[in-house]
């Protein structure tokens, strides 16, 4: 019986592990893939207070090392269901069932897809969702980045240092990402902004050859030859598996307020997977702390009552 089982080892989950371990509780993190969450895809993090600049993967590594050094346990497993038995919960992951007094859901969100059949087929053949993972394959080539948020802008900056030419394709002419980054990119000679444009077709059989773009204002279409496309159009939650137990909003986020408490006592939601206004590294870390401290209190009350 663990005191705290954390589902997801991204920034929120690993921050929760640190706080729960420092409070002396037993902690298991269940993560279906590589620890780190979304931030491993960020080439540079420049907005985490106290750290001027750090590659995203480095930030994730440091956070993970901190949690593990404090004695958190981690198992690679995909959670398929959770049951509430009031004084404890069971967490099903593959063939294994874990028991815990509390559960922190910190599942983050998954990369949003454009939603074309060719997109699936061309992943790894010109299409990527991670510039820092795959950028090196496109050294000296012409690529495009799709999106107007900080991920897309960061990807363009990273790729501009490797590639001959980088197009930034965005559906509007103003950006959701930081103006400081936009300014920096506009000064780069090998970066070209193609705004007010959407991708309407991905051209290529076994390998991406070109994109068909449509200007959303004039409706004009153009073909843009590129060897790589980095899709950075945001994230979506993946909480369906928890729907029988915790309440989700219309978009699939777990309903929980700033106290991270869900509708089930002893189950908390932390980070990008919960309903919230601001989804940032800092808010994910903050949620981890809030959820862990609430879980610690819950465990203490359970232990005192038994």
- Active site (annotated) includes residue 133: yes
- Contacts to ligand NAP from residues 102-121, by CB under 6 A: 112
Residue 65-104 contact track with ligand NAP, rule CB under 6 A, x = bound: ----------------------------------------
- Active site (annotated) includes residue 273: no
CB 105 within 8 A of CB 254: yes
Q: Which position among 47, 87, 207, 222 is part of the footprint of ligand NAP (CB under 6 A)?
A: 47
Residue 272-301 contact track with ligand NAP, rule CB under 6 A, x = bound: -------xxx--------------------
Residue with smaller CB distance to ligand NAP, 74 or 235: 235
Residue with smaller CB distance to ligand NAP, 48 or 88: 48
- Distance in Å, CB of 238 to ligand NAP, minimum: 15
Q: Which position among 151, 211, 262, 294 is part of the footprint of ligand NAP (CB under 6 A)?
A: 151
In the numeric block, the tokens 């496109």 are attached to 138
Q: Which position among 216, 234, 236, 255 is part of the footprint of ligand NAP (CB under 6 A)?
A: 234
Q: Which position among 22, 121, 165, 176 is part of the footprint of ligand NAP (CB under 6 A)?
A: 176
Separation between Cα atoms, residue 30 and residue 21, nearest integer Å: 15
Separation between Cα atoms, residue 6 and residue 126, nearest integer Å: 35
Separation between Cα atoms, residue 292 and residue 300, nearest integer Å: 12
Q: Judged by CB under 6 A, does residue 172 bind ligand NAP?
A: yes
The alpha carbon dihedral of 25, 31, 34, 36 has a sign of negative
Q: Judged by CB under 6 A, does residue 147 bind ligand NAP?
A: yes
- Distance in Å, CB of 97 to ligand NAP, minimum: 34
Separation between Cα atoms, residue 268 and residue 274, nearest integer Å: 9
Backbone angles phi, psi at 158, to 5 degrees: -65, -45
Q: Which position among 4, 20, 29, 42 is part of the footprint of ligand NAP (CB under 6 A)?
A: 42
Separation between Cα atoms, residue 202 and residue 205, nearest integer Å: 9
- Distance in Å, CB of 32 to ligand NAP, minimum: 20
Q: Judged by CB under 6 A, does residue 148 bind ligand NAP?
A: yes
Q: Which position among 6, 143, 152, 273 is part of the footprint of ligand NAP (CB under 6 A)?
A: 152
Separation between Cα atoms, residue 48 and residue 59, nearest integer Å: 10
Six token digits for residue 148: 């107007």
Q: Would you please indicate which residues are annotated as catalytic (active-site) residues?
A: 130, 133-134
- Contact residues toward ligand NAP (CB under 6 A) are 42, 45-47, 112, 147-152, 154, 171-172, 176, 198, 232-235, 279-281
């Amino acid at each position: 019986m663990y005191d705290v089982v954390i589902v997801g080892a991204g920034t929120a989950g690993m921050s929760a592990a640190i706080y729960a371990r420092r409070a002396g509780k037993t902690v298991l993190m269940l993560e279906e893939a590589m620890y780190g969450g979304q931030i491993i895809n960020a080439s540079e993090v420049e907005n985490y207070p106290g750290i001027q600049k750090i590659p995203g993967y480095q930030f994730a590594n440091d956070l993970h090392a901190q949690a593990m050094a404090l004695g958190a346990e981690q198992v690679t497993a995909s959670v398929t269901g959770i049951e509430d038995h009031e004084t404890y919960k069971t967490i099903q992951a593959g063939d294994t069932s874990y028991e815990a007094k509390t559960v922190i859901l910190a599942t983050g969100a998954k990369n949003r897809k454009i939603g074309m059949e060719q997109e699936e087929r061309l992943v790894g053949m010109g299409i990527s969702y991670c510039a820092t993972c795959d950028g090196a394959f496109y050294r000296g080539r012409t690529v495009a980045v799709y999106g107007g948020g900080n991920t897309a802008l960061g990807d363009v900056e990273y790729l501009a240092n490797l590639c001959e030419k980088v197009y930034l394709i965005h559906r509007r002419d103003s950006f959701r990402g930081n103006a400081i980054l936009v300014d920096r990119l506009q000064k780069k000679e090998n970066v070209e902004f193609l705004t007010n444009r959407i991708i309407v077709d991905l051209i290529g059989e076994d390998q991406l050859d070109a994109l068909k773009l449509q200007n959303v204002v004039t409706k004009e279409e153009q073909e843009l030859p590129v060897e790589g496309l980095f899709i950075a159009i945001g994230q979506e939650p993946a909480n369906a598996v928890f729907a029988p137990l915790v309440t989700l909003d219309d978009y699939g986020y777990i309903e929980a307020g700033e106290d991270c408490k869900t509708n089930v006592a002893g189950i908390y939601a932390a980070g990008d997977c919960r309903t919230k206004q601001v989804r940032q590294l800092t808010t994910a870390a903050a949620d981890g702390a809030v959820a862990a401290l609430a879980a610690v209190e819950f465990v203490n009350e359970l232990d005192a009552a038994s």
